[in-house]
Homo-oligomer: A and B are copies of this chain.
Amino acid sequence: MSGYFDSVSDDAYFGEATWEKAESEMQRQTLDLALSKANLPITSLEYLFAGDLLNQCTSSSFAHRRSGLPYIGLYGACSTMAQTLGVAASFIDSGLGDTAACITSSHFCTAERQFRTPLEYGGQRTPTAQWTVTGSGAIILGADGAGPYITHFTPGILVDAGISDANNMGAAMAPAAFDTLSAHFRDLNISPGYYDLILTGDLGALGADILLDFFARDGVDMSGRYNDCGLMIYDRQIQDVHAGGSGCGCSASVLAGKIIPGLRDGVWNRVLFAATGAMLSSVSSQQGESIPSICYAVSLSSQKAV
């Protein structure tokens, strides 16, 4: 889906000397681009909500250290885009500000060496493994505007189903997605048919199957309206990414690149964006721990909530 992105870089270093600095620079450029598309100066932003996968969330803190913006750092692993949108929307809805930006990123090379092995090692990946997306997405929220609109936010609970295979995040996160989506449908007293598109991110091939299986057991049919950002971002016929994409930047760039424009252009009227995160670290895996996961759901609509 590269045609949907506002910018595609041929340089994984983004002109910097290290991958970590590259990821920060990518995130900084993404915010710049979003502001330029919105025709807003950076000084018009009242809050910046950001997060990423790196230890101590340095991609975000270094990206914005000269922005001068009130900064709220969040950690939700790969769920960060939905988490920042939900918290930012809550701030704006409550009158604490009129304009906020939400941004997140991931980088294959920073994630691979932090969570798995040095890239030079050339380790084999299991079929259940996902491929961390090198990407970033930014969304600017305003109290006014022509939409799309955020109408609801369902924050998730931590769910730990006992999966301890760090190469099978989809299986670890699917129960969290099931929990949050079920809570969302229950709270709003709606069925999946309320939405034109229900989008998880990033369960990958295996996790998405597990989620559909959970719903099928409850007699809930999601077919025809369900997809996963990890399955959308790559062409798995020609890109060897095993179970699909992952990383904060995956759902963020799919949402910002394809879904928001699609809501604006009438492709969909109502989308449920349910990003998922696996809250492990390499230390917790080395200590034999299972993987707590979380899912935040944000309802997006081309129409204002009534």
Contacts and interface: CB of A to CB of B under 8 A. Distances in A.
A36 interface: no
Contact of A62 (B69, B93, B289): B289
Contacts of A91: 90, 94
Interface in A19-52: 20-21, 47, 51
Copies in the complex: 2
Interface in A57-91: 57-58, 61-62, 64-77, 83, 87, 90-91
A284 interface: yes
A66 B158 CA distance: 7
A279 B58 contact: yes
A98 to B, nearest CB: 14
Interface string A159-173: 110000000000000
B71 A74 contact: no
Contact of A61 (B55, B93, B279, B287): B279
Nearest to A86: B72
A190 interface: no
Interface in A181-196: none
Interface residues on A, range: 35 or more
A57 B75 contact: yes
A294 B157 CA distance: 28
A155 interface: yes
A61 B17 CA distance: 33
B18 A287 contact: yes
A21 B74 CA distance: 22
Given A54-B281, A91-B90, A94-B96, A156 B73 contact: no
B69 A20 contact: no
